[in-house]
Amino acid sequence: MEQETKAPVIDWKANYDVVVLGFGGAGATAARFAADNGAKVLIVDVAPYGHEGGNTRYSAQLLGTGTDYDKLKEYYLGLTRPMDLPEDMVETYVRGMCNMREYVKKYLGVEPVSFINDFSKIPKEYRVGVTQEYPELKGHETYDYTLVHNGWFDAALWKLLRQKVLDRKDKIDVWYEARARHLIQDPISKVIKGVQIEKLGQKINVLARRGVILTTGGFENNKEMIQNYLAAPKLAPLGTIYNKGEGISMAQEVGAKMWHMYNYESLGLLHGLSFDTPEGKRSKLVLSWPELNHGSVFMVADDGKRYFNETGPNRHGHIFDHGIWRVPRSHEKPYIIFDQKQYETIETGQIPYDKFNEKLIKADTLEELAEKTGVDANGLKEQVKMFNRFVENGHDDQFGRDIKSMVKFSNEGPFYAIKMAYNVLNTQGGPERNTKAEILDVNDKPIPHLYGAGELGGINANQYQGGGNLAECLIFGKIAG
């Protein structure tokens, strides 16, 4: 005779209407709107006070915005090609971006700033290029960024979102240095009843009468997940150091369907590369340093050879690959290589990295430089010969780098190298959600009382356009809340 399954008796130590896991842009938005709809809300974040905010805190504060729905939809479908995404999800997301300025004015209480038309920090001739990352795609001309004031990389958007939570302190509690460990699911109905939180060494079962919202961000600080999903040995985070993939683990435990697990974004000098960074530390973002890609200088991988155009457009780390822009495969030994005259040029200019000379590797010959770096000596010597031949012939036959940016390497040493690191802004993968921000199970059915917003299981896939993630935090955070 089949034994009847009984739901275990849970010792609830706290109870709320809604529990939001993660206090970043999506979590703050979800909590605020849940509270405005009459819910008593708890926000839980693993970061200590003053370090909450997830990647929203460290981002450029740019919100993806469209001025024409049909054109923006065409642009977005071009960005995600050849991926198939649910039509209603695309429509919800695109419509949200077209309403972004009204959203900012109505819900954040500030006058929105157009990046292309109003942003005074960058010369006007550069603004369109910075904004519309894929000008070869149809519909790109409708895309713009919205800012909450005339500034960027200053946490201004995050401060506004956080203040909206603090303004509702009678309805929203916040627990810092608290790690969500497990969702508590009814074994029969599959309804998510609450969540187990670890705080001050104690495991606390928290009841969530109306739902749990997962906004824990990605797994950019989880080395095992990076290796399993992204095929990279390690990545250096540019944002928060607290995103470790707990939302993915919790969602998997309750049968959620995953999507976009392979997708991540990077930024900075030389297609998503920054300087080698110790594990557990944030990487320094350097957006421009002309002396490292103009002159007798190039980038190599383990075999001593170049693998991209060092002066090409930096599309969030993507490299052109036979008709599509992809995040490149990472290598163990990425190095910038240059000669003595280039070193002297670097030294006479501005050096935006204070450990540059400390980390510099110097050698009298290319063979010695290869030995010190671990790259292939024959490959490196061959690459220098090819590079010099390209300069002589007036064309980079490898990757089409602008010949005006190339200067022949000296035949005599010394030569220099500096180790680089593949960085990561954020990962996009996680539990798939629908237009109601409900998280789906493996049969495409909503898991009762479980919602998601933000970068955890985000809609963005393939060729990422800046501003898309923050827009998603606000659009689906509001829906979830």
Q: pLDDT tens for residues 223-242?
A: 999 999 999 999 999 999 99
Q: Range with the lowest mean pLDDT among 3-7, 319-323, 383-387?
A: 3-7
Decide: 239 and 58 in contact? Cβ < 8 Å. yes
- Give 3's pLDDT tier (boundaries 50, 70, 90): low
In tens, the pLDDT along 140-166 reads: 999 999 999 999 999 999 999 999 999
**CA-CA distances (angstroms) from residue 326 to 111, 272, 315, 390?**
36, 11, 9, 26
pLDDT at 112: 98
Residues 310-318 have a mean pLDDT of 89
pLDDT at 6: 67
- Give 59's pLDDT tier (boundaries 50, 70, 90): very high
Residues 184-213 have a mean pLDDT of 97
Residues 397-425 have a mean pLDDT of 96
Torsions phi, psi for 80 (to 5 deg): -90, -10
Decide: 454 and 26 in contact? Cβ < 8 Å. yes
Nearest alpha carbon to residue 324 among 464, 441, 432, 199: 464
Q: Range with the lowest mean pLDDT among 170-184, 319-333, 418-432?
A: 319-333
Residues 335-354 have a mean pLDDT of 95
Residues 203-212 have a mean pLDDT of 98
pTM of the model: 0.94
pLDDT at 323: 85
Strand partners, 264: 427
- Give 450's pLDDT tier (boundaries 50, 70, 90): very high
Pairing of strands 178-185, 143-147: unpaired
pLDDT at 36: 98
SS3 336: strand
Which of residues 122 and 176 earns the better pLDDT score? 176
pLDDT at 7: 66
Domains of the chain (ranges plus CATH)?
14-257+426-480 (3.50.50.60), 269-424 (3.90.700.10)
Nearest alpha carbon to residue 54 among 181, 215, 232: 215
pLDDT at 5: 58
- Give 327's pLDDT tier (boundaries 50, 70, 90): confident
Residues 193-205 have a mean pLDDT of 96
pLDDT at residue 436 greater than cutoff 90: yes
pLDDT at 288: 84
- Give 1's pLDDT tier (boundaries 50, 70, 90): very low
In tens, the pLDDT along 31-58 reads: 999 999 999 999 999 999 999 999 999 9
